[in-house]
A and B are shown apart, each in its own frame.
Chain A
Amino acid sequence: EDKVVQSPLSLVVHEGDTVTLNCSYEVTNFRSLLWYKQEKKAPTFLFMLTSSGIEKKSGRLSSILDKKELFSILNITATQTGDSAVYLCAALSGSARQLTFGSGTQLTVLP
């Protein structure tokens, strides 16, 4: 069975801190790894990673994939209160043609 595990489950930091969120995966015929940010409602897409070692960056957020070790990290630098959300990692399996989600990391950024 495909599996995605995220850590930590929750994280509380202060504005300005840098955080690293972890995601490990075991999926059959892995194709891509995706990161989503979920605030109150729908998850919104952040990154899709397909190749190992290539960092994707968007503002203060960046992510990288290690296909050998089967994990990805999401970094957020200079955190702001607006970064408070659940961050979801999902692995795309080519064989199942569906996303398997982790349980998410609840990030709380305090002022």
Chain B
Amino acid sequence: DTAVSQTPKYLVTQMGNDKSIKCEQNLGHDTMYWYKQDSKKFLKIMFSYNNKELIINETVPNRFSPKSPDKAHLNLHINSLELGDSAVYFCASSRDYGSTEAFFGQGTRLTVV
């Protein structure tokens, strides 16, 4: 069973479009995250979220927004996509904020053309 799953795995879209990436975890974890990995392999935190608190990395444009319908899901919505948004986006979860290792999904490769 996949612990953290993301869909889609690949997403190719045009500039200006709005898209969503879905993430689900079946680990019973309280905290979920979104990371962006750029071409140089840097993994940068975008959001940390549990059912009580959302922490946003201040460098993330407000075109990006997390949506959590329940504790097991954290979806990423992106409005008005730009070329620079092309990257691999990873979802992750941990038992709670920062106490244990984070388990990662397989990533979504987003290409904006």
Q: Mark A residues whose CB is within 8 Å of B.
A: 31-32, 34, 36, 38, 41-45, 48, 86, 88, 90, 92-94, 96-101, 103-104, 106
Across-interface contacts of A90 in B (CB, < 8 A): 43
Beyond A97-B55, A99-B45, is A92–B107 a contact (Cβ under 8 Å)? no
Q: In the complex, A41 Cα to B91 Cα: how many Å?
A: 12
Across-interface contacts of B41 in A (CB, < 8 A): 38, 86, 88, 103-104, 106
Contact assessment for B105 and A103 in the assembled complex, using a CB-CB cutoff below 8 Å: no
Q: In the complex, A52 Cα to B43 Cα: how many Å?
A: 25
Contact assessment for A101 and B105 in the assembled complex, using a CB-CB cutoff below 8 Å: no
Contact assessment for A97 and B98 in the assembled complex, using a CB-CB cutoff below 8 Å: yes
Smallest CB–CB gap between B65 and chain A, Å?
18
Contact assessment for B101 and A97 in the assembled complex, using a CB-CB cutoff below 8 Å: no
B: number of interface residues (CB 8 Å): 23
Contact assessment for B105 and A42 in the assembled complex, using a CB-CB cutoff below 8 Å: yes
Nearest CB to that of B33 among chain A residues? A98
Contact assessment for B105 and A98 in the assembled complex, using a CB-CB cutoff below 8 Å: no
Set B42, B45, B90, B107: member contacting A98, Cβ < 8 A? B45
Nearest CB to that of B40 among chain A residues? A103
Contact assessment for A92 and B44 in the assembled complex, using a CB-CB cutoff below 8 Å: no
